[in-house]
């Protein structure tokens, strides 16, 4: 190949790339207009989630396809044309699987945020983050294997190297892997669901917000965010205050005067409570009684208000100031 022919082929490749990029941009714009017009005519937001997720891969795909079809008009490229065809097909396959992974992820995200309230299909949303990541990984593994096979790369040696690297990384990141597997176990076992109130081994009462890949997000009764590693969270002895139902029984202790009519107070509190209130004497001293007030609440959200109501009833009772 002489210098002149080399220059011609180089110029054709540059021209091919410019034309392919331009056609890819035009095709992407046209598809965007079509998708937006379809999206505006639908009542669900699912198509919006899908469109946002495929914007990136769609633009790259249209560019690759445009370069491939443009290259068919340049017969002088010879062996380079064969390389362009093989790699264009390989990249297109990879992008197709990547787009599929993004679409699946978009559907699961839509159901997590909106779809669970709008469809008849009911799924436990605590499992959706796990399914989304697992499906993405599985689809991309199939896509990479298929795209490499198209250009004739033997996966046997690659798998052997990958296995060795995975073993080294596994030994170096045992704590991270422990958190990942603990998160998977929590999501599959489902001992809790998002929104449940839990009593930790430390005695703290928290609300479960999210179980992630490596950590669990909780919030305390003041709304502060708490983050625990999945392995640390899974090893604890935890009481689920929201199971088997949201209602639960609790108690508070109050010091009252010796002449305090606690039986009358028990009757008064029961009239306004979800279930009958029970008052028992815990301790008697020379100056006061310590009474234990047991009561039920329908959900943990009502606990603070119910405690405040009971304390107010006792404080405003005429017997409270008797000596």
What domains sit in the chain, N to C, each tagged with a CATH number?
3-122 (no CATH), 154-244 (2.30.30.60), 248-321 (3.30.70.260)
- Residue whose token pair is 């080294």: 168
- Residue whose token pair is 């699987």: 97
- The rounded distance, in Å, linking the Cα atoms of 206 and 196 is 8
Per-residue pLDDT tens digits for 177-203:
787 778 778 877 778 888 888 989 888
- The rounded distance, in Å, linking the Cα atoms of 63 and 19 is 10
What does the angle CA 166 – CA 180 – CA 116 come to, to the nearest 5 degrees?
A: 130
Strand pairing report for 215-220 and 278-284: unpaired
pLDDT of 225 reads 92
- The rounded distance, in Å, linking the Cα atoms of 248 and 178 is 34
Q: Which of 234, 200, 242 is nearest to 220 (CA)?
A: 200
- The rounded distance, in Å, linking the Cα atoms of 57 and 53 is 8
pLDDT of 74 reads 65
| pTM for this prediction | 0.54
Q: Which of 323, 315, 221, 207 is nearest to 269 (CA)?
A: 315
Question: CA 250 from chain center: how many Å?
Answer: 33
- Give phi and psi for 252, each to the nearest 5: -135, 155
Cα torsion 179, 180, 185, 186: sign = positive
- The rounded distance, in Å, linking the Cα atoms of 77 and 20 is 15
The H or E element that residue 115 is part of is: none
- Write the DSSP assignment of 246-260 as a string of letters: S-EEEEEEEEEETT-
Other Cβ atoms within 10 Å of 11 Cβ, number: 10
The H or E element that residue 219 is part of is: strand 215-220
The tens place of each residue's pLDDT in the chain, 323 residues long, gives 556 666 666 766 677 677 777 877 888 788 778 877 777 777 777 777 888 888 888 888 888 877 777 777 766 656 666 777 777 788 888 888 988 888 888 888 887 777 666 666 666 666 677 778 888 888 888 888 888 887 777 666 556 666 666 666 565 557 777 877 787 788 777 788 888 889 898 888 899 998 887 889 999 888 899 999 988 998 889 988 888 777 878 888 988 888 888 888 888 888 888 788 999 999 888 888 899 999 988 888 788 888 888 888 888 887 666 65
pLDDT of 8 reads 62
Cα torsion 27, 28, 29, 35: sign = positive
What does the angle CA 96 – CA 99 – CA 103 come to, to the nearest 5 degrees?
A: 140
pLDDT of 249 reads 83
**According to DSSP H, which parts of 41-154 are helical?**
46-71, 79-110, 116-118, 128-150
- The rounded distance, in Å, linking the Cα atoms of 215 and 33 is 41
Per-residue pLDDT tens digits for 105-158:
888 888 777 766 666 666 666 667 777 888 888 888 888 888 888 777 766 655
pLDDT of 278 reads 92
Residue by residue, what is the 3-state secondary structure of 282-318? EEECCCEEEEEEEEEECCHHHHHHHHHHHHHHHHCCH
Q: Which of 101, 100, 88, 96 is nearest to 150 (CA)?
A: 88
pLDDT of 219 reads 92
In eight-state DSSP terms, residue 245 is -
Q: Which of 99, 62, 83 is nearest to 13 (CA)?
A: 83
Contact 23, 59 (CB under 8 A): no
Structure tokens at 284: 């008697």
């Amino acid at each position: 190949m002489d210098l002149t022919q080399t220059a011609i082929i180089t110029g054709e490749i540059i021209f091919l790339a410019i034309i392919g990029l331009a056609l890819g941009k035009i095709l992407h714009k046209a598809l965007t207009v079509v998708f937006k017009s379809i999206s505006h005519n639908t009542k669900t937001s699912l198509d919006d989630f899908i469109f946002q997720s495929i914007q990136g891969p769609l633009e790259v795909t249209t560019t690759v396809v445009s370069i491939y079809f443009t290259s068919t008009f340049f017969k002088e490229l010879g062996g380079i044309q064969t390389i362009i065809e093989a790699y264009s097909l390989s990249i297109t396959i990879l992008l197709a699987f990547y787009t599929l992974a993004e679409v699946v992820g978009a559907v699961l995200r839509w159901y997590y945020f909106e779809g669970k309230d709008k469809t008849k299909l009911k799924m436990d949303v605590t499992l959706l983050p796990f399914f989304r990541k697992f499906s993405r990984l599985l689809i991309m593994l199939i896509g990479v294997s298929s795209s490499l096979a198209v250009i004739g790369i033997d996966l046997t040696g690659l798998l052997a190297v990958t296995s060795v690297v995975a073993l080294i990384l596994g030994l170096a990141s045992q704590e991270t892997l422990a958190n990942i597997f603990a998160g998977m176990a929590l999501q599959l076992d489902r001992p809790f669901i998002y929104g449940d109130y839990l009593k930790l081994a430390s005695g703290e009462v928290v609300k479960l917000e999210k179980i992630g890949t490596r950590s669990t997000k909780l919030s305390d009764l003041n709304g502060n965010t708490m983050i625990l590693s999945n392995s640390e969270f899974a090893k604890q002895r935890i009481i689920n205050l929201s199971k088997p139902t949201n209602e639960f029984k609790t108690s508070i202790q109050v010091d009252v005067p010796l002449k305090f009519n606690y039986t009358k107070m028990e009757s008064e509190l029961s009239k306004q409570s979800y279930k009958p209130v029970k008052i028992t004497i815990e301790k008697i001293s020379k100056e006061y009684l310590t009474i234990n007030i047991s009561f039920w609440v329908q959900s943990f959200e009502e606990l603070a208000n119910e405690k405040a109501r009971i304390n107010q009833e006792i404080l405003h009772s005429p017997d409270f100031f008797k000596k």
